[in-house]
Amino acid sequence: MIITLRHSGGFAGIEQELGSADTGTLAEGPRREVAKALKVLEEARPSVGADRFQFEVEIREPGSSPRRLIIPDEGSPQSLAMQALGDLAAALGISVT
């Protein structure tokens, strides 16, 4: 599975690819962390708003269409979704700051 993280939004509509990783190259521990974080992110109910920053998690698996999860950057690193996004990025070796 290939996972790509992006950060976009704001009044100016910036777009930045933060990184991409193949989970097939990860050790068992980080692969478990990725699966756990994706489960939390898939169950999150994002809030809506114009001109907000957001993170996009694109998941590409062989034989399937790409899936995209949108996580609003609500400015609170304590939110469950932002914690899961941080855990996902750490397991993949991608910086989201």
Residue with tokens 């855990």: 87
- Residue range 1-60, pLDDT digits in tens: 999 999 988 777 788 999 999 999 999 999 999 999 999 999 886 666 666 788 999 999
Sequence spans of domains, the chain: 2-92
pLDDT band at 73 (very low <50, low <70, confident <90, very high): confident
The pair of three-digit structure tokens given for residue 61, joined into one six-digit string: 């698996």
- Residue range 59-70, pLDDT digits in tens: 999 999 999 998
**Whole-prediction pTM value?**
0.87
Helices (H), 1-97: 28-43, 80-92
Dihedrals φ, ψ of 70, to 5°? -110, 125
DSSP code of residue 70? E
